[in-house]
Amino acid sequence: MKNLLKLPVLLLAMMLVVSCGGDSKKEEEKKLSPVEQAAADGERAGCAWECEMEAAKKADDRTTGEKLFNERDALEAKYGEKGSASDEEKEAFMKAVKTAMGECSC
C-alpha cells in the first residue's frame, strides 16, 4: 500500500522536473547570431545615435555626449576596418547603418 502512494508523488516530481527543464532552450532561441547582432548594432549606430547626439547637444548634456562617443568608439573598434568582427558581421553592420541613415528623421 505504501508503494502505491509513492507512485503518484514520484510521477508528479518527474513531471515538474521535465517541464522546468525546457527553459534553457527558450533562452538560447532569444540570443541573436553574431551577424544579427551586428545588424542590430548598425541600426542603433545609424539613426538613433545621431538623434541622441543632437538631443544631447541641444540639452547641453556633456555626460550623455561622452557616453555616446565612447559607444561609437567601441563600435568602431569592433566593426571598423581593423575591427575584431568577421567580414560578414562588418558587412551586415555597414548595410544596417546605411539603411538606418536613409530612413532617419529625428
pLDDT digit of tens for each residue in the chain (106 aa)? 566 666 566 556 666 666 666 555 555 557 888 899 999 888 888 878 778 888 888 888 888 888 888 988 898 899 888 888 999 999 999 999 888 877 777 7
Q: What residue has cell string 522546468?
A: 20
Output phi, psi for 43, to 5 deg.
-60, -45
Q: Dump the DSSP string for 15-63.
A: HHHHHHTTHHHHHHHHSPPHHHHHHHHHHIIIIIHHHHHHHHHHTT-HH
Query: What pLDDT score was predicted for residue 11?
Result: 58
pTM of the model: 0.60
Radius of gyration of the chain (CA): 24
Query: What pLDDT score was predicted for residue 31?
Result: 86
